[in-house]
Amino acid sequence: DAGVTQSPTHLIKTRGQQVTLRCSPKSGHDTVSWYQQALGQGPQFIFQYYEEEERQRGNFPDRFSGHQFPNYSSELNVNALLLGDSALYLCASSSPGRHNEQFFGPGTRLTVL
Amino acid sequence: AQSVTQLGSHVSVSEGALVLLRCNYSSSVPPYLFWYVQYPNQGLQLLLKYTSAATLVKGINGFEAEFKKSETSFHLTKPSAHMSDAAEYFCAVSDQGTGFQKLVFGTGTRLLVSP
């Protein structure tokens, strides 16, 4: 049983560019959450998707947007990249009715130059 | 608003010694509490969780944690450290209930294990 998978593993972009990160949830899970983990910090909640709609959002600007597809996979898009967007982006999935039991993927390391 | 405070950004122990990682939470509603471990260049792995059943929770790899409401604490312990326990540990809190939940994490504690 594959766990949560994310792609790509690493990504280097320059300021002002746009980036798309991808996530496939664990089998049987229908909810996807995204977190940003800056170096030396704990993960911070960005947003959560269920039934292709954003259900909760953390304190992140509109430059951060997402999407969930009918197969429950998800994308995180970040526009107009800033140096401060450099971080590990973690995707987590959860099963119906157990949204606080989240399983994390390995993350995508984004570096903005 | 919920928050978690992890005391000590780094904790050093010798192999075979007791591991104690501290976590205090703040929540206006009954919380669920979690400990996650992160190895270098990897995602987060759930060690254990408190979901209002037993206050002493046993997790994987010999770790356990005790929920103490009077102290608003959820400290993580392991009787005997192993070299493979060296990693970053995160405490997290969420609301109880089956609705959409987010995890609020602490800043983490790096556990160093020396031979």
Could B100 and A4 be called an inter-chain contact, meaning their C-beta atoms sit closer than 8 Å? no
CB < 8 Å to B96, chain A: 100
Residue of A nearest to B44 (CA): A104
**Closest residue of chain A to B91, computed from CA coordinates:** A42
> What pLDDT, on a 0 to 100 scale, did the predictor assign at position B97?
65
Mean pLDDT computed over every residue of chain A: 94
**pLDDT at residue number B100:** 74
- In the block, residue with structure tokens 């800033």: A82
Hey, what long-range contacts does A63-68 have (CB within 8 A, 24 or more apart)?
A: A66/A34, A68/A32
Give the pLDDT band of residue B114 (cuts 50, 70, 90). very high
State which amino acid sits at residue B34: F
- Computed on alpha carbons and rounded to an integer, the radius of gyration of chain A in Å comes to 13
Q: Do B104 and A45 touch (CB under 8 A)?
A: yes
What is the residue-level pLDDT of chain A in tens, covering all 113 positions? 679 999 999 999 999 999 999 999 999 999 999 999 999 899 999 999 999 999 989 999 999 999 999 999 999 999 999 999 999 999 999 987 776 789 999 999 999 99
